[in-house]
Amino acid sequence: RNIPPIHELLNDNKIVAEIEQHNISYEEAKQSLQDTVQSLREEILNGEFSNISVEDLFDLVIEKTLKQIEEHKMHNLHSVINGTGTILHTNLGRARLATQAIDHVVNSASYYSTLEYDVTTGKRGSRHDLVERYITNLTGAESAMVVNNNAAAVYMVLSSFAKNYETIVSRGELVEIGGSFRVSSIMEESGTQLKEIGTTNKTHLFDYEQAIHNDTKMIMKVHTSNFYMSGFTSSVDREDLASLAQRHNLIYYEDLGSGLLYNLSDQGITDEPVVKDVIAKGVDLVSFSVDKLLGGPQAGIIAGKKEYINALKKHQLARVLRVDKMTYAALEETLRLTLTNQVEQIPTLRDILKDSSTVQNEVMVFLEQLKDLNQLIVESLEMKSKVGGGTLPEVELDSFGIKVQCRVQTAEQLSQQLRTCSPPIIVRVENSSVMIDFRTLERHEQDEIKKALQAINNRFK
């Protein structure tokens, strides 16, 4: 009975201000109030708020309603600050795009564009032509095309060329990539017969040779991406597989996973070969992700011999798996930056290549500006960043960051509080402390973390 009537609540100053300020309709506000009142009524019937005064109850309804309206206004997809030190964090959207790529997306999305139009002839063009030259220049492949992601690329290659035939793969390469994407499952789904050969740790050329018979169409090599084996292992060189396939009139296809276009071995980071070197070994087709080490939007690239790529472009699946203009725009600009040696503009590569002393300096500046915290203990700490996204599992990048402990809260509670900041700050919790790796943080993100730590500290004063 003490719950105030809706019409009275709707006249409350705060609600009226919210309606005026934020473009909220009267109906929306009314609906939010009704929802709040309804759930409050249930809570009261369950024995909660038994001693609450009429005034406090009124305020409570208003407060809860404003919170609900705020939550509704927030997008479900919004930015977060990645303090985990994992550069390509699968759950946090993998690669962030270069500013130039974003500008190109905005421009292509805002206006009509040449997506399938040739301005020279005034006739219909093909979206396949938008980025093919960049890819062939960067990889040395004869031809290339783009699909929705690398999983789609694998599916399309197998389904187009090896459906109802056999594809030979080494047991050591039948990996699960994460998010329950299994190479073996996608192969089965494509309609090819999976012919597993060798053992987990060793596969020899004769294993491949012996498996070839009339129904064989393809030899496939899969990058083991997110794990690596050491010790008593061996796999067959791609040159040998390429020539074996050629002798038997088979297609030799490699799923490269992340597909490196920029040579990271010169920097001593990994000895992973660049796509160009792979193609040079005589591989017929390769496919790789665009939002892994390439640092672009979600997409997959298929590159290789012209006769195969032409067949793929004409396949019905090309329509099913095609990408839209925003993806092309982001991809074109990312490839252009790679081709013109401006990879430091691509956040993924910039962060991989960042020197640990640069990261350390940023941590020192941060700590200098963060004084008089009496409830939080913040210290600098050496750490190791991961590239992530199922790439370069053996690589650990020397990095720096901060370790935060709270005198009155557990690390889990602190991490939860950081997640409720706006934007949410995502951290690592290790050995009962919160760890924030600075490798992936831009200056304004560091400022947000500073503000958040100060605010949390002040809460416990």
Q: Please select the residue that binds ligand PLP; options are 225, 235, 409, 440, rule is CB under 6 A.
A: 225
Distance of CA 151 to the CA centre of its chain: 14
Residue 132 CB, shortest distance to ligand PLP, in Å, is: 19
Nearer to ligand PLP, 149 or 440 (CB): 149
Report the residue number whose CB is nearest to ligand PLP. 257
Report how far residue 427's alpha carbon sits from residue 402's, in angstroms, rounded to the nearest whole number: 10
Nearer to ligand PLP, 322 or 450 (CB): 322
Residue 407 CB, shortest distance to ligand PLP, in Å, is: 42
Cβ neighbours for 45, distance < 8 A, ≥ 6 positions apart:
none
Report how far residue 162's alpha carbon sits from residue 77's, in angstroms, rounded to the nearest whole number: 38
Coil, helix or strand for 384?
strand
Q: Please select the residue that binds ligand PLP; options are 36, 84, 139, 149, rule is CB under 6 A.
A: 149
Q: Which stretch binds ligand PLP (CB under 6 A): 198-206, 220-228, 231-239, 427-435?
A: 220-228
Cβ neighbours for 329, distance < 8 A, ≥ 6 positions apart:
101, 104, 105, 107, 108, 109
Q: Which stretch binds ligand PLP (CB under 6 A): 144-152, 236-244, 313-321, 433-441?
A: 144-152
Can you read off the two tokens belonging to residue 276? 């160009």
Distance of CA 228 to the CA centre of its chain: 21
Residue 300 CB, shortest distance to ligand PLP, in Å, is: 5
Can you read off the two tokens belonging to residue 390? 């199922």
Nearer to ligand PLP, 178 or 191 (CB): 178
Report how far residue 364's alpha carbon sits from residue 205's, in angstroms, rounded to the nearest whole number: 54
Report how far residue 455's alpha carbon sits from residue 434's, in angstroms, rounded to the nearest whole number: 16
Pairing of strands 86-88, 433-437: unpaired
Sign of CA dihedral 251, 252, 258, 262: negative
Residue 9 CA neighbour count, 13 Å, CB half: 27
Residue 284 CB, shortest distance to ligand PLP, in Å, is: 17
CB 248 within 8 A of CB 205: no
> What does the DSSP assignment read for 94-115?
SPPPPHHHHHHHHHHHHS---T
Report how far residue 404's alpha carbon sits from residue 425's, in angstroms, rounded to the nearest whole number: 13
- Name 385's bridge partners: 397
Nearer to ligand PLP, 173 or 362 (CB): 173
User: Could you say which residues in the range 239-258 bind ligand PLP, by CB under 6 A?
Assistant: 255, 257-258
Nearer to ligand PLP, 223 or 305 (CB): 223
Nearer to ligand PLP, 166 or 255 (CB): 255
Can you read off the two tokens belonging to residue 110? 């805002």
Q: Contact between 222 and ligand PLP (CB under 6 A)?
A: yes
Q: Which stretch binds ligand PLP (CB under 6 A): 136-144, 146-154, 198-206, 341-349?
A: 146-154
Q: How many positions of this chain bind ligand PLP (CB under 6 A)?
A: 15
Residue 243 CB, shortest distance to ligand PLP, in Å, is: 23
Nearer to ligand PLP, 9 or 293 (CB): 293
Q: Please select the residue that binds ligand PLP; options are 104, 217, 223, 428, rule is CB under 6 A.
A: 223
Q: Please select the residue that binds ligand PLP; options are 65, 82, 150, 417, rule is CB under 6 A.
A: 150
Cβ neighbours for 277, distance < 8 A, ≥ 6 positions apart:
none
| 274-309 CB burial, b ≥16 within 10 A, e <16 | bbbebbebbbbbbbbbbbbbbbbbbbbbbbbbeebb
Nearer to ligand PLP, 103 or 176 (CB): 176
Nearer to ligand PLP, 58 or 181 (CB): 181
Residue 223 CB, shortest distance to ligand PLP, in Å, is: 4
Can you read off the two tokens belonging to residue 306? 């012209």
Here's the x/- map for ligand PLP, 279-318, by CB under 6 A: it reads as ----------x----------x------------------
Q: Please select the residue that binds ligand PLP; options are 295, 296, 297, 390, rule is CB under 6 A.
A: 390
User: Could you say which residues in the range 105-124 bind ligand PLP, by CB under 6 A?
Assistant: none
Nearer to ligand PLP, 300 or 304 (CB): 300
Q: CA angle at residue 189 from 292 to 321, to 5 degrees? A: 50
Nearer to ligand PLP, 198 or 389 (CB): 389
Peptide bond into 423 cis (omega under 30): yes
Nearer to ligand PLP, 29 or 302 (CB): 302
Q: Contact between 348 and ligand PLP (CB under 6 A)?
A: no
Residue 169 CA neighbour count, 13 Å, CB half: 26
User: Could you say which residues in the range 151-190 bind ligand PLP, by CB under 6 A?
Assistant: 151, 154, 177, 181
Q: Which stretch binds ligand PLP (CB under 6 A): 150-158, 200-208, 260-268, 378-386?
A: 150-158
Report how far residue 217's alpha carbon sits from residue 161's, in angstroms, rounded to the nearest whole number: 7
Q: Contact between 401 and ligand PLP (CB under 6 A)?
A: no
Contact residues for ligand PLP (CB under 6 A)? 149-151, 154, 177, 181, 222-223, 225, 255, 257-258, 289, 300, 390
